Amino acid sequence: MIHPTAVINDKAKLGSGVSIGAFTIVHENVVIGDNTVIGSHCELGIPSSLSDGSPLIIGKSSIIRSHSVFYAGSAFGDNLATGHRVTVRERTEAGESFQIGTLGDIQGHCKIGNFVKFHSNVHIGQHSTIGDYVWIFPYVVLTNDPHPPSNVMQGVTLENFVVIATMSIVLPGVTVKEGALVGAHSSVNRDVAPDTVVAGAPAKFICDTKEVKLKDGSGESAYPWRRHFHRGYPEAAVAAWVAEFASAKVV
Amino acid sequence: MIHPTAVINDKAKLGSGVSIGAFTIVHENVVIGDNTVIGSHCELGIPSSLSDGSPLIIGKSSIIRSHSVFYAGSAFGDNLATGHRVTVRERTEAGESFQIGTLGDIQGHCKIGNFVKFHSNVHIGQHSTIGDYVWIFPYVVLTNDPHPPSNVMQGVTLENFVVIATMSIVLPGVTVKEGALVGAHSSVNRDVAPDTVVAGAPAKFICDTKEVKLKDGSGESAYPWRRHFHRGYPEAAVAAWVAEFASAKVV
Amino acid sequence: MIHPTAVINDKAKLGSGVSIGAFTIVHENVVIGDNTVIGSHCELGIPSSLSDGSPLIIGKSSIIRSHSVFYAGSAFGDNLATGHRVTVRERTEAGESFQIGTLGDIQGHCKIGNFVKFHSNVHIGQHSTIGDYVWIFPYVVLTNDPHPPSNVMQGVTLENFVVIATMSIVLPGVTVKEGALVGAHSSVNRDVAPDTVVAGAPAKFICDTKEVKLKDGSGESAYPWRRHFHRGYPEAAVAAWVAEFASAKVV
């Protein structure tokens, strides 16, 4: 399951059932959980002074697709899943079931919760803080410098269940509050209230998220999305969501 | 012409004169046409349940540049040409002379016509339908989910001769009609009429495409672009285009 | 220091102390300065008719990170530093201490000054001209075709000390003058006056750069950034900048 062309440092700690693709490099300071699959042409655990000597830790049952690069000094829970050509720098801490789409670029020094999903080509600036069940769509950038270039770093905060749609940026120091939706092609320069939709550049209040209707003929609200979208989440979470909205449906 | 470091499955079907670069992987379920050149560090025919058992088919006289990734279950006509680090997922069907720029990300489950050209870093969401002679410029995203995340998929349609300029997005379910031009940095949220220019976020009607003048001192219209831009197209097509506009020029 | 899996052409000219990572390819027409470090999975000096027979020249003490691709026919001064997956096409000429972030895509036929820094995922169209001490932030595109596709190429010019913030585009033929700042998520369709801030799509005048205050409690101006931001610049330049603003501070 380790391809003969892979270059694996003897001191790397690989769990049982780990698979490693052709032409992949695993450095010394790496810990990979059981049954994790690493694709081809990857480089894991690149040494760096910014890692403070910490290893790269990848949880169990994960999949890292080809041409991806992870530095030493970051830690991921179980069931990490990445697309191709992902870059993850030092001091990234993520919970379980984190999904990073192809071309994702995580600059490190950031905290990411559980069940967070990034679609392709998402850029996460340093000092970002991301809650649980957050979705970020393609070509979104979370920034951090209010007057670039400078030494002032004001990270972005995305609370639980936030959704940021395609080609949007969130400006430094902004907090997008729980359940809010940033529409596509927007630039968010101030905090966004919970469960509201903002859009535009600069982004302005559009409506409450519950006013967005599902375009499936049901007439139901599209948000909170956990009302109708369950693919890839654990059974227990889905059961709780179903219960949460069961009474609402009766009304 | 097959580099000794390449890892080629015995069952892959390579035409005559096929060249494969160093450190490239070709899986079992791949058919490559005669005289096609595959660069270094690629991975072709990644197995996937979404391929429904179909192979990856690459036409004749194609070139796939380095670090590109193609899944099984897609088919391309002759003269495919890609830049570096292209990603193509399952169920992509493209005609002849398709060009994909560096970093292109095609999510699969899409149909693409003949002589379509993508510049760098184009993202094609699932269920997109693209006609012939379409041009897409850098950092354009074709979306598909009207209220992400959800299970509702409304693909984008780009008809023949459509041009989408840099850093624009087309929202779910939108049709951009034949010969229309979407200006740079736009967000298109409704159908675009044939041979018109739209721009802005949300995109609004600017003018008919024929009113855009070539900045070459000729005073001619810049659109339809086939009036003046012929590089890389087959002689027969160019001859037809020349004939199409010959009478117009007399007037 | 040359990994045994690297494929190095015998005619490539490597300086003393050059290090080359695993699975990297170095073609014939390459000159690499002393003490330069090339990462894994790179391909340097790709032959091309557009290189006019010129080599790829990389200066001393440079670092090119993994999965990067450079064509023959470009030249870089000392202390080049790139992120991962950088693409550089033919006829790119850059000065010393050029920094290209991860996923940078330089289309060639361009001139870049000294101490220029690109953050991640910057796209530089052909015929761009960039001065000294310029900063470009993620997902910025410099365009060149006023009515794509066409054969008219009008490159962008960025003068010394220009800053282009995240997710902005500069339209063909535009000059951004010395010390100007383009705000995030902007589309610049006309020349920008020196030491001014523009933002929006299309970008409009916001204020003089000196009116932007540092968010560090000092009450100082954030621009010119050389007043306060010195990281990574040579001592002599920093000393000159300190002297430049010493008198201003007294006033």
**How high is the pLDDT of residue A251?**
45
Could you tell me if C176 and C226 lie in one domain?
Answer: no
Lowest mean pLDDT among A86-90, B222-226, B244-248: B244-248
pLDDT mean across residues, chain C = 96
CA angle (C15, C19, C24) in 5-degree steps:
110
What is the C-alpha to C-alpha distance for residues A30 and A81, in angstroms, rounded to an integer? Answer: 17
CA angle (C170, B220, C150) in 5-degree steps:
40
- Chains with at least 3 CB pairs less than 8 angstroms from chain A: B, C
- Report which of A97, A101, A94 is spatially closest to residue A121, judged by C-alpha positions: A101
- Percent of chain C at pLDDT above 90? 95
- φ/ψ of A33, rounded to 5, equals -75, 165
- The answer as to whether A217 is a domain residue is yes
Q: Which among C21, C121, C229 is the nearest to A150, CB-wise?
A: C229
Q: Are A144 and A153 within 8 A, CB to CB?
A: yes
Contacts of B230 in chain C (CB under 8 A): none
Instruction: Establish if B153 touches chain A: CB-CB under 8 angstroms.
Output: no
Contacts of B117 in chain C (CB under 8 A): 149
Could you tell me if C240 and C175 lie in one domain?
Answer: no
Tell me what the mean pLDDT of segment C164-181 comes to. 98
Q: Are C138 and C120 within 8 A, CB to CB?
A: yes
Residue range(s) defining the domain that contains residue B96: 7-211
Q: pLDDT tens, B90-112?
A: 999 999 999 999 999 999 999 99
Strands B196-199 and B204-208: antiparallel
**Domain with B76 in it: what CATH number?**
2.160.10.10
Could you tell me if A127 and A239 lie in one domain?
Answer: no
What is the C-alpha to C-alpha distance for residues B181 and B200, in angstroms, rounded to an integer? Answer: 12
Q: Are B212 and B222 within 8 A, CB to CB?
A: yes
Cα–Cα distances in Å, from C113 out to C76, C87, C92, C133, C247? 10, 18, 11, 8, 28
Tell me what the mean pLDDT of segment C180-196 comes to. 98
- The answer as to whether A89 is a domain residue is yes
Q: Low-confidence residues of chain A, pLDDT below 70?
A: 248-251
Inter-chain touch A117–B149, beta carbons under 8 Å: yes
Contacts of C151 in chain B (CB under 8 A): 216, 228-229, 231
Could you tell me if A52 and A147 lie in one domain?
Answer: yes
- Check residue C119 and give left, alpha or beta (phi > 0: left; psi -120 to 50: alpha): beta
Chain B: give the shortest CA distance to residue C221, in Å. Answer: 30
- Chains with at least 3 CB pairs less than 8 angstroms from chain B: A, C
What is the C-alpha to C-alpha distance for residues B181 and B222, in angstroms, rounded to an integer? Answer: 11
Instruction: Establish if A31 touches chain B: CB-CB under 8 angstroms.
Output: no
The enclosing H or E element of A244 equals helix A235-250
In B, minimum Cα distance to A134 occurs at B149
Chain C: give the shortest CA distance to residue A231, in Å. Answer: 30
Could you tell me if A161 and A144 lie in one domain?
Answer: yes
Cα–Cα distances in Å, from C214 out to A156, B165, C186? 18, 35, 21
- The answer as to whether C2 is a domain residue is no
What ipTM does the predicted assembly reach? 0.96
What is the C-alpha to C-alpha distance for residues B150 and A218, in angstroms, rounded to an integer? Answer: 13
In C, minimum Cα distance to B223 occurs at C147
Model confidence, pTM? 0.97
What is the C-alpha to C-alpha distance for residues B41 and C86, in angstroms, rounded to an integer? Answer: 14
**Residue B251 pLDDT grade (very low, low, confident, very high; cuts 50, 70, 90):** very low
Contacts of C23 in chain B (CB under 8 A): 22-23, 41
What is the C-alpha to C-alpha distance for residues C212 and B72, in angstroms, rounded to an integer? Answer: 53
As to burial, measured by CB atoms within 10 angstroms (0-12 exposed, 13-18 middle, 19+ buried), residue B153 is: middle
In C, minimum Cα distance to A186 occurs at C185
Q: Are C188 and C198 within 8 A, CB to CB?
A: yes
Q: Is A194 helix (H, G, I), strand (E, B) or coil?
A: coil
Q: Are C109 and C127 within 8 A, CB to CB?
A: yes
Could you tell me if C34 and C87 lie in one domain?
Answer: yes
Instruction: Establish if C70 touches chain A: CB-CB under 8 angstroms.
Output: no
- Report which of A193, A188, A194 is spatially closest to residue A173, judged by C-alpha positions: A188
**How high is the pLDDT of residue B249?**
56
Tell me what the mean pLDDT of segment B54-79 comes to. 98
Strands B204-208 and A19-20: unpaired
Task: Please state the domain count of chain A.
Answer: 2
Inter-chain touch C184–A171, beta carbons under 8 Å: yes
Inter-chain touch A171–C163, beta carbons under 8 Å: no
Could you tell me if B41 and B99 lie in one domain?
Answer: yes
Q: Are A183 and A164 within 8 A, CB to CB?
A: no
pLDDT mean across residues, chain B = 96
In A, minimum Cα distance to B187 occurs at A185
**Residue C71 pLDDT grade (very low, low, confident, very high; cuts 50, 70, 90):** very high
Tell me what the mean pLDDT of segment C43-68 comes to. 96
- The answer as to whether A2 is a domain residue is no
- The answer as to whether A243 is a domain residue is yes
CA gyration radius for chain B? 19
Could you tell me if A59 and A110 lie in one domain?
Answer: yes
Asked whether the CA dihedral A11, A14, A20, A26 is positive or negative, the reply is negative
DSSP-assigned letter for residue C210: G
Tell whether the model's pLDDT for residue C230 goes beyond 90.
Answer: yes
Could you tell me if A138 and A227 lie in one domain?
Answer: no
B9: Cα within 13 Å, side-chain hemisphere: 16
Instruction: Establish if C23 touches chain A: CB-CB under 8 angstroms.
Output: yes
What is the C-alpha to C-alpha distance for residues C32 and C44, in angstroms, rounded to an integer? Answer: 10
**How high is the pLDDT of residue B52?**
86
Q: Which among A21, A137, A185 is the nearest to B148, CB-wise?
A: A137
**How high is the pLDDT of residue C51?**
86
DSSP symbols for B73-131? S-EE-TT-EE-SS-EE-SSEEE-TT-EE-TT-EE-SSEEE-SS-EE-SS-EE-TT-EE-
Tell whether the model's pLDDT for residue C9 goes beyond 50.
Answer: yes
- The answer as to whether A181 is a domain residue is yes
Chain B: give the shortest CA distance to residue A186, in Å. Answer: 9
Inter-chain touch B141–A165, beta carbons under 8 Å: no
Asked whether the CA dihedral C64, C66, C69, C72 is positive or negative, the reply is positive
What is the C-alpha to C-alpha distance for residues C32 and C78, in angstroms, rounded to an integer? Answer: 10
Tell me what the mean pLDDT of segment B225-239 comes to. 96
Contacts of A40 in chain C (CB under 8 A): none
Cα–Cα distances in Å, from B167 out to A8, B192, C56, C185? 40, 17, 31, 10
The enclosing H or E element of C92 equals strand C92-94
Could you tell me if B228 and B207 lie in one domain?
Answer: no
Tell whether the model's pLDDT for residue C250 goes beyond 70.
Answer: no
Helix, strand and coil content of chain A, in percent to the nearest 5, comes to 10, 30, 60
Instruction: Establish if B6 touches chain C: CB-CB under 8 angstroms.
Output: no
- The answer as to whether A1 is a domain residue is no
Could you tell me if B18 and B32 lie in one domain?
Answer: yes
Could you tell me if A59 and A162 lie in one domain?
Answer: yes
Residue type, C119: H
In A, minimum Cα distance to B22 occurs at A23
- The answer as to whether C136 is a domain residue is yes
